[in-house]
Amino acid sequence: MIKKLLPILLLIIIISGYKLINLQQEQVLKEIEEGKNTIPKETILQQESEKAQDNSSFLNIKQVRVKGIDFSVGLDCNEILAKLGNPKDEGVFEGSYYLAYDQIIFFLDSIEKQGNVNSFAVWEGIEIDRVKVGMTPSDIKNILGDPFKEGTDTNTNYYLFYKTEDLSVTFFSDDENSPTTSALIKKE
């Protein structure tokens, strides 16, 4: 029973961390619009642009390798089923249909078992570009460059948040020195 609940619990933790990141970004933008943020909007946009340029090798990440198979945001549900077979668990979570396998959970852009992948979470050992979940945050930063954002979320998980125009990848670990335990890849 606990083994069946573990992926769902991890999923809740990952989604909570992602929601916190979105809330923090929304708060900064709101403060800028209300004139409460002392950093000029142009400076923030310039910093974001510089970070994107620094991580230019990361900007092309579209796929994640699981068991020797590449997966990406936008993949059709039927392609997942054809490649991986029936999931170990499936259902609806926060308005998205999900398909859960050993090391990956796909979230579709539908509440039914159809449509395309909107986001997915992966666990230790899964490759994302040139890094693997399980590497330390400093190892990931050495390969991918500085993240768009990093810190501790409300669940006291440490995270590295990388962002492109249409994709974000968030790596999670217990603290900034511990190996990463999971990652969330999401369509922006």
Helix segments in the chain, DSSP class H? 2-34, 41-54, 77-84, 137-144
Spatial separation of the C-alpha atoms in residues 152 and 174, rounded to whole Å: 9
pLDDT of residue 72: 78
pLDDT of residue 98: 95
Q: What angle do CA 59, 140, 16 make, to 5 degrees?
A: 80
Greatest C-alpha distance within the chain: 52
Spatial separation of the C-alpha atoms in residues 66 and 164, rounded to whole Å: 22
pTM, entire model: 0.67
Spatial separation of the C-alpha atoms in residues 180 and 176, rounded to whole Å: 9
pLDDT of residue 60: 46
pLDDT of residue 153: 83
Considering only CA atoms, which of 94, 114, 118, 134 is closest in space to residue 168? 118
Contact (Cβ atoms closer than 8 angstroms) between residue 151 and residue 133: no
Spatial separation of the C-alpha atoms in residues 65 and 104, rounded to whole Å: 10
Per-run averaged pLDDT (10 residues), the chain, 188 residues: 45 47 50 52 45 43 61 87 92 93 92 92 85 94 91 88 86 94 90
pLDDT of residue 134: 96
Structure tokens at 104: 């990956």
Place of tokens 């999971």: 182
Angular region, 95: left φ>0, alpha ψ -120 to 50, beta rest: left
What DSSP character marks residue 112?
S
Give the SS3 label for residue 136. coil
